[in-house]
Amino acid sequence: MGMTTMSRFYYSKAYSIYGSSMGRNEHHGGNPVTRFRLQRVPVNEGGYDPGGAYWGKGMPLWQYEADNDEDDVITGFTRAMDREDAKLDVLRRYPTARFYR
Give the pTM.
0.71
Cβ 11 vs Cβ 43: under 8 Å: no
Choose the weakest-confidence range: 31-35, 73-77, 96-100.
31-35
Q: Is 41 helix (H, G, I), strand (E, B) or coil?
A: strand
How many CA atoms, within 13 angstroms, populate the side-chain half-sphere of residue 12?
5
Higher pLDDT, 45 or 18: 45
Choose the weakest-confidence range: 53-57, 73-77, 87-91.
73-77
Q: What span, in angstroms and rounded, lies between the C-alpha atoms of 72 and 47?
A: 30
What pLDDT, in 10s, does the model give residues 57-71?
A: 999 999 998 876 666
Higher pLDDT, 95 or 87: 87
